[in-house]
Amino acid sequence: MALELVVMGAASATPTSNQYTTSQLLKMREHYFLIDCGEGTQKQLRRSKIKFSRINHIFISHLHGDHFFGLVGLLSSFHLLGRTTPLTVYGPPKLKDLILAQFRASGTFTSYPIHFAVTQHKVPQVLLETDDYTISSFPLKHRIATTGFLFEEKEQARKLNKPVADAYGVPVCDYHWIKDGKDWTSEEGQLVPNKELTFDPPAPLSYAFASDTMYTSDTATYIQGVDLLYHESTFCEDKAKRAQETMHSTAKDAAIVAQEAGATHLLLGHFSARYRDFQQFEEEATEWFDSVWLAKELHSYRLSSKGLEVESLTTSLSDEK
Protein backbone atom coordinates (compact mmCIF):
# COMPACT_ATOMS: atom_id res chain seq x y z
CA MET A 1 0.00 0.00 0.00
CA ALA A 2 1.11 3.56 -0.66
CA LEU A 3 -0.01 7.11 -0.08
CA GLU A 4 0.50 9.57 -2.93
CA LEU A 5 0.65 13.36 -2.82
CA VAL A 6 0.52 15.46 -6.00
CA VAL A 7 1.67 19.08 -5.63
CA MET A 8 -0.24 21.51 -7.84
CA GLY A 9 1.10 24.74 -6.40
CA ALA A 10 3.89 25.56 -3.95
CA ALA A 11 4.28 29.34 -4.18
CA SER A 12 3.16 31.89 -1.61
CA ALA A 13 1.06 35.05 -1.99
CA THR A 14 0.64 35.37 -5.77
CA PRO A 15 0.94 33.12 -8.83
CA THR A 16 3.73 33.98 -11.25
CA SER A 17 4.41 33.13 -14.88
CA ASN A 18 5.79 29.74 -13.87
CA GLN A 19 4.46 29.10 -10.37
CA TYR A 20 1.06 28.43 -8.83
CA THR A 21 -0.15 29.06 -5.29
CA THR A 22 -0.93 26.36 -2.75
CA SER A 23 -2.89 23.29 -3.78
CA GLN A 24 -2.33 19.57 -3.30
CA LEU A 25 -4.13 16.34 -4.18
CA LEU A 26 -3.77 13.44 -1.75
CA LYS A 27 -4.57 9.88 -2.84
CA MET A 28 -5.22 7.61 0.15
CA ARG A 29 -6.87 4.17 0.13
CA GLU A 30 -8.30 4.81 -3.36
CA HIS A 31 -9.85 8.13 -2.24
CA TYR A 32 -8.88 11.58 -3.58
CA PHE A 33 -8.67 14.62 -1.28
CA LEU A 34 -8.01 18.17 -2.49
CA ILE A 35 -6.09 20.32 0.01
CA ASP A 36 -6.32 24.09 -0.53
CA CYS A 37 -7.25 25.52 -3.91
CA GLY A 38 -5.20 28.48 -5.07
CA GLU A 39 -5.63 30.10 -8.48
CA GLY A 40 -4.98 27.75 -11.35
CA THR A 41 -5.72 24.58 -9.40
CA GLN A 42 -8.08 23.13 -11.99
CA LYS A 43 -5.51 23.80 -14.72
CA GLN A 44 -2.91 21.90 -12.71
CA LEU A 45 -5.37 19.07 -12.04
CA ARG A 46 -5.83 18.67 -15.78
CA ARG A 47 -2.09 18.71 -16.36
CA SER A 48 -1.74 16.00 -13.72
CA LYS A 49 -4.47 14.00 -15.51
CA ILE A 50 -6.48 13.74 -12.30
CA LYS A 51 -10.18 13.06 -12.82
CA PHE A 52 -12.30 15.82 -11.29
CA SER A 53 -15.02 13.27 -10.55
CA ARG A 54 -12.75 11.44 -8.09
CA ILE A 55 -12.64 14.45 -5.76
CA ASN A 56 -15.43 14.30 -3.17
CA HIS A 57 -13.76 16.17 -0.29
CA ILE A 58 -11.98 19.54 -0.37
CA PHE A 59 -10.08 20.98 2.62
CA ILE A 60 -9.37 24.73 2.89
CA SER A 61 -6.87 25.75 5.56
CA HIS A 62 -7.71 29.47 5.78
CA LEU A 63 -9.13 32.41 3.87
CA HIS A 64 -6.05 34.10 2.49
CA GLY A 65 -6.58 34.26 -1.26
CA ASP A 66 -3.58 32.19 -2.29
CA HIS A 67 -5.24 29.21 -0.61
CA PHE A 68 -8.80 29.39 -1.90
CA PHE A 69 -9.22 31.82 -4.83
CA GLY A 70 -9.40 28.86 -7.23
CA LEU A 71 -12.27 27.20 -5.40
CA VAL A 72 -15.31 28.96 -6.88
CA GLY A 73 -14.04 28.30 -10.42
CA LEU A 74 -13.46 24.63 -9.67
CA LEU A 75 -16.93 24.25 -8.16
CA SER A 76 -18.43 25.89 -11.24
CA SER A 77 -16.46 23.57 -13.53
CA PHE A 78 -17.77 20.56 -11.63
CA HIS A 79 -21.28 21.72 -12.59
CA LEU A 80 -20.39 22.37 -16.23
CA LEU A 81 -18.91 18.87 -16.44
CA GLY A 82 -22.24 17.39 -15.32
CA ARG A 83 -21.32 16.36 -11.81
CA THR A 84 -24.15 14.93 -9.69
CA THR A 85 -22.14 13.37 -6.85
CA PRO A 86 -22.30 15.26 -3.52
CA LEU A 87 -19.23 17.26 -2.49
CA THR A 88 -18.08 18.25 1.00
CA VAL A 89 -15.96 21.36 1.53
CA TYR A 90 -14.21 21.78 4.89
CA GLY A 91 -13.06 25.23 5.91
CA PRO A 92 -13.42 28.32 8.13
CA PRO A 93 -16.90 29.62 9.07
CA LYS A 94 -17.02 32.41 6.45
CA LEU A 95 -16.04 30.19 3.51
CA LYS A 96 -19.62 29.17 2.74
CA ASP A 97 -20.82 32.79 2.67
CA LEU A 98 -17.97 33.82 0.36
CA ILE A 99 -18.66 31.03 -2.14
CA LEU A 100 -22.44 31.44 -2.13
CA ALA A 101 -22.12 35.24 -2.53
CA GLN A 102 -20.12 34.70 -5.72
CA PHE A 103 -22.66 32.18 -6.97
CA ARG A 104 -25.53 34.58 -6.33
CA ALA A 105 -23.78 37.54 -7.94
CA SER A 106 -23.04 35.55 -11.11
CA GLY A 107 -26.32 33.64 -11.23
CA THR A 108 -24.40 30.38 -10.82
CA PHE A 109 -25.96 27.20 -9.50
CA THR A 110 -24.67 23.64 -9.19
CA SER A 111 -26.15 20.39 -10.43
CA TYR A 112 -24.78 18.61 -7.36
CA PRO A 113 -25.21 19.17 -3.61
CA ILE A 114 -22.41 20.95 -1.72
CA HIS A 115 -22.07 20.50 2.03
CA PHE A 116 -19.92 23.01 3.91
CA ALA A 117 -18.34 21.64 7.11
CA VAL A 118 -16.95 24.29 9.47
CA THR A 119 -13.47 23.77 10.93
CA GLN A 120 -12.42 24.85 14.43
CA HIS A 121 -9.16 26.80 14.57
CA LYS A 122 -8.64 26.67 18.34
CA VAL A 123 -8.88 22.94 19.06
CA PRO A 124 -8.18 19.68 17.19
CA GLN A 125 -11.22 18.23 15.47
CA VAL A 126 -12.06 14.95 13.74
CA LEU A 127 -13.57 15.92 10.39
CA LEU A 128 -14.12 12.56 8.72
CA GLU A 129 -13.76 8.97 9.86
CA THR A 130 -14.35 5.72 7.99
CA ASP A 131 -13.24 2.12 8.39
CA ASP A 132 -10.16 2.96 6.30
CA TYR A 133 -8.98 6.35 7.57
CA THR A 134 -9.39 9.32 9.90
CA ILE A 135 -9.00 12.96 8.83
CA SER A 136 -8.55 15.62 11.51
CA SER A 137 -7.81 19.32 11.69
CA PHE A 138 -5.46 21.01 14.15
CA PRO A 139 -4.80 24.67 15.07
CA LEU A 140 -2.04 26.69 13.46
CA LYS A 141 -0.73 30.13 14.45
CA HIS A 142 -1.26 32.66 11.67
CA ARG A 143 -2.75 36.14 11.19
CA ILE A 144 -6.26 34.76 10.68
CA ALA A 145 -8.02 31.54 11.70
CA THR A 146 -5.99 28.72 10.16
CA THR A 147 -5.98 24.95 10.51
CA GLY A 148 -3.70 22.15 9.44
CA PHE A 149 -4.97 18.73 8.39
CA LEU A 150 -3.88 15.25 9.45
CA PHE A 151 -4.70 12.26 7.25
CA GLU A 152 -4.25 8.86 8.94
CA GLU A 153 -4.80 5.41 7.50
CA LYS A 154 -6.27 2.79 9.81
CA GLU A 155 -4.65 -0.60 10.22
CA GLN A 156 -5.99 -3.14 7.77
CA ALA A 157 -7.08 -6.70 8.53
CA ARG A 158 -4.33 -9.29 8.63
CA LYS A 159 -3.70 -11.23 5.42
CA LEU A 160 -4.52 -14.93 5.49
CA ASN A 161 -1.72 -17.40 4.81
CA LYS A 162 -4.00 -19.73 2.88
CA PRO A 163 -1.59 -22.65 2.31
CA VAL A 164 -0.98 -22.89 6.05
CA ALA A 165 -4.68 -22.46 6.83
CA ASP A 166 -5.51 -25.25 4.38
CA ALA A 167 -2.88 -27.50 5.95
CA TYR A 168 -4.54 -27.08 9.34
CA GLY A 169 -7.98 -27.59 7.83
CA VAL A 170 -9.30 -24.14 8.73
CA PRO A 171 -12.85 -23.78 7.31
CA VAL A 172 -13.70 -20.75 5.18
CA CYS A 173 -16.27 -19.60 7.75
CA ASP A 174 -13.45 -18.94 10.24
CA TYR A 175 -11.33 -16.79 7.90
CA HIS A 176 -13.02 -13.60 9.08
CA TRP A 177 -12.05 -14.12 12.71
CA ILE A 178 -8.51 -15.08 11.83
CA LYS A 179 -8.04 -11.95 9.73
CA ASP A 180 -9.22 -9.97 12.76
CA GLY A 181 -6.27 -11.38 14.72
CA LYS A 182 -7.84 -14.28 16.62
CA ASP A 183 -6.15 -17.62 17.17
CA TRP A 184 -7.86 -20.76 15.84
CA THR A 185 -8.72 -24.01 17.59
CA SER A 186 -9.29 -27.23 15.66
CA GLU A 187 -12.04 -29.72 16.43
CA GLU A 188 -9.36 -31.84 18.12
CA GLY A 189 -8.55 -28.97 20.46
CA GLN A 190 -5.27 -27.92 18.86
CA LEU A 191 -4.62 -24.19 19.29
CA VAL A 192 -3.00 -22.53 16.27
CA PRO A 193 -1.55 -19.05 16.97
CA ASN A 194 -2.75 -16.33 14.66
CA LYS A 195 0.80 -15.42 13.66
CA GLU A 196 1.11 -18.84 11.99
CA LEU A 197 -2.05 -18.33 9.94
CA THR A 198 -1.61 -14.75 8.80
CA PHE A 199 0.82 -12.16 7.51
CA ASP A 200 1.23 -8.69 9.01
CA PRO A 201 -0.74 -6.02 7.08
CA PRO A 202 1.15 -3.04 5.65
CA ALA A 203 1.84 -0.43 8.30
CA PRO A 204 -0.75 2.40 8.12
CA LEU A 205 0.63 5.66 6.75
CA SER A 206 -0.05 9.28 7.69
CA TYR A 207 0.29 12.73 6.13
CA ALA A 208 0.12 16.14 7.83
CA PHE A 209 -0.46 19.45 6.04
CA ALA A 210 0.74 22.44 8.05
CA SER A 211 -0.34 25.46 6.06
CA ASP A 212 0.55 29.08 6.83
CA THR A 213 1.84 29.34 10.39
CA MET A 214 4.64 30.75 12.46
CA TYR A 215 6.69 28.30 14.48
CA THR A 216 4.89 26.84 17.47
CA SER A 217 5.79 23.70 19.37
CA ASP A 218 2.06 22.94 19.60
CA THR A 219 2.07 21.81 15.97
CA ALA A 220 4.32 18.85 16.75
CA THR A 221 2.03 17.67 19.56
CA TYR A 222 -0.86 17.22 17.12
CA ILE A 223 1.07 15.18 14.55
CA GLN A 224 3.38 12.94 16.57
CA GLY A 225 4.96 10.15 14.53
CA VAL A 226 3.61 11.37 11.18
CA ASP A 227 5.20 9.71 8.16
CA LEU A 228 5.17 12.73 5.84
CA LEU A 229 4.88 16.32 7.02
CA TYR A 230 4.29 19.24 4.67
CA HIS A 231 5.20 22.43 6.52
CA GLU A 232 5.20 25.89 4.99
CA SER A 233 8.62 27.54 4.75
CA THR A 234 7.94 30.90 3.17
CA PHE A 235 11.37 32.26 4.07
CA CYS A 236 14.91 31.22 4.94
CA GLU A 237 16.82 32.46 7.98
CA ASP A 238 18.06 35.52 6.08
CA LYS A 239 14.49 36.84 6.34
CA ALA A 240 13.61 35.44 9.76
CA LYS A 241 12.46 38.86 10.96
CA ARG A 242 10.04 39.13 8.02
CA ALA A 243 8.77 35.63 8.78
CA GLN A 244 8.00 36.65 12.35
CA GLU A 245 6.29 39.88 11.25
CA THR A 246 4.01 38.03 8.80
CA MET A 247 3.53 34.99 11.09
CA HIS A 248 5.15 32.60 8.64
CA SER A 249 7.89 30.00 9.06
CA THR A 250 11.44 29.60 7.87
CA ALA A 251 12.94 26.36 6.58
CA LYS A 252 14.66 25.99 9.95
CA ASP A 253 11.33 26.40 11.77
CA ALA A 254 9.75 23.68 9.64
CA ALA A 255 12.66 21.32 10.28
CA ILE A 256 12.44 21.84 14.03
CA VAL A 257 8.71 21.01 13.95
CA ALA A 258 9.48 17.83 11.98
CA GLN A 259 12.16 16.93 14.52
CA GLU A 260 9.86 17.57 17.49
CA ALA A 261 7.04 15.57 15.88
CA GLY A 262 9.26 12.57 15.17
CA ALA A 263 8.25 12.77 11.52
CA THR A 264 9.86 10.48 8.96
CA HIS A 265 9.97 12.89 6.01
CA LEU A 266 9.59 16.68 5.67
CA LEU A 267 8.24 18.43 2.57
CA LEU A 268 8.87 22.19 2.32
CA GLY A 269 6.67 24.58 0.34
CA HIS A 270 4.89 27.97 0.15
CA PHE A 271 8.09 29.59 -1.10
CA SER A 272 8.31 33.38 -1.28
CA ALA A 273 8.89 34.90 -4.73
CA ARG A 274 11.82 36.75 -3.17
CA TYR A 275 13.86 33.58 -3.74
CA ARG A 276 15.04 32.25 -7.08
CA ASP A 277 17.06 29.28 -5.77
CA PHE A 278 14.94 27.04 -3.56
CA GLN A 279 17.93 24.82 -2.81
CA GLN A 280 18.71 27.22 0.01
CA PHE A 281 15.58 26.03 1.83
CA GLU A 282 16.68 22.40 1.67
CA GLU A 283 20.20 23.20 2.82
CA GLU A 284 18.99 25.15 5.85
CA ALA A 285 16.42 22.54 6.86
CA THR A 286 18.82 19.59 6.61
CA GLU A 287 20.95 21.14 9.35
CA TRP A 288 18.09 20.26 11.70
CA PHE A 289 16.33 17.32 10.05
CA ASP A 290 17.63 14.53 7.81
CA SER A 291 14.93 13.68 5.26
CA VAL A 292 14.02 17.00 3.62
CA TRP A 293 12.28 17.40 0.26
CA LEU A 294 11.20 20.44 -1.74
CA ALA A 295 7.60 20.68 -2.96
CA LYS A 296 7.81 20.81 -6.75
CA GLU A 297 4.77 21.59 -8.85
CA LEU A 298 3.35 18.75 -10.92
CA HIS A 299 5.41 16.22 -9.00
CA SER A 300 4.12 13.12 -7.26
CA TYR A 301 5.42 12.12 -3.81
CA ARG A 302 4.69 8.44 -3.27
CA LEU A 303 5.05 7.25 0.32
CA SER A 304 5.26 3.56 1.21
CA SER A 305 6.99 1.31 3.73
CA LYS A 306 10.01 1.45 1.41
CA GLY A 307 10.34 5.23 1.70
CA LEU A 308 9.45 8.29 -0.37
CA GLU A 309 9.66 8.25 -4.17
CA VAL A 310 9.35 11.41 -6.28
CA GLU A 311 8.18 11.48 -9.89
CA SER A 312 7.68 14.38 -12.31
CA LEU A 313 4.22 14.57 -13.90
CA THR A 314 5.14 17.48 -16.15
CA THR A 315 3.42 17.55 -19.54
CA SER A 316 4.52 20.09 -22.11
CA LEU A 317 1.82 22.51 -23.26
CA SER A 318 2.20 21.21 -26.81
CA ASP A 319 1.06 17.77 -25.63
CA GLU A 320 -2.07 19.05 -23.89
CA LYS A 321 -5.47 18.78 -25.47
In the chain, domain spans: 2-156+202-314, 159-197
pLDDT > 90? residue 10: yes
Question: Looking at residues 148-162, what average pLDDT do you find?
Answer: 93
As annotated, the active-site residues are 66
What pLDDT, on the 0 to 100 scale, is given for residue 314? 82
Question: What CATH number should be reported for the domain whose range is 2-156+202-314?
Answer: 3.60.15.10
pLDDT > 80? residue 318: no
* Average pLDDT value over all residues in the chain: 94
pLDDT > 70? residue 146: yes
CA distances 110 to 35, 76, 78, 107, 311, Å, are 21, 7, 8, 10, 35
d(CA 160, CA 6): 33
Q: Cβ of 130: how many Cβ atoms within 10 Å?
A: 10
Among 34-38, 81-85, 164-168, 314-318, name the one with the lowest average pLDDT. Answer: 314-318
3-state secondary structure of 19: coil
Question: Looking at residues 177-184, what average pLDDT do you find?
Answer: 90
pTM for the whole thing? 0.91
d(CA 229, CA 258): 7
pLDDT > 50? residue 319: no
pLDDT > 80? residue 316: no
Burial class (CB in 10 A: 0-12, 13-18, 19+), 122: exposed
What pLDDT, on the 0 to 100 scale, is given for residue 1? 66
Q: Cβ of 175: how many Cβ atoms within 10 Å?
A: 17
When pLDDT is cut at 50, 70 and 90, the band that residue 34 belongs to is very high
Question: Looking at residues 131-158, what average pLDDT do you find?
Answer: 96
Question: Looking at residues 244-272, what average pLDDT do you find?
Answer: 98
Question: Looking at residues 252-272, what average pLDDT do you find?
Answer: 98
pLDDT > 60? residue 297: yes
Question: Looking at residues 135-149, what average pLDDT do you find?
Answer: 98
3-state secondary structure of 250: strand
d(CA 64, CA 240): 21
Task: For 279-290, write each residue's pLDDT tens digit.
Answer: 999 999 999 999
Confirm if 114 and 75 have CB atoms less than 8 A apart. yes
Task: For 188-198, write each residue's pLDDT tens digit.
Answer: 889 999 998 89
Query: Which residues, in sequence order, are CB contacts of 97 under 8 Å at separation 6+?
Result: none
Give the β-pairing of 2-9 and 299-304: antiparallel
Calculate what percentage of the chain has a pLDDT beyond 70.
98
Task: For 207-249, write each residue's pLDDT tens digit.
Answer: 999 999 999 999 999 999 999 999 999 999 999 999 999 999 9
Confirm if 20 and 145 have CB atoms less than 8 A apart. no
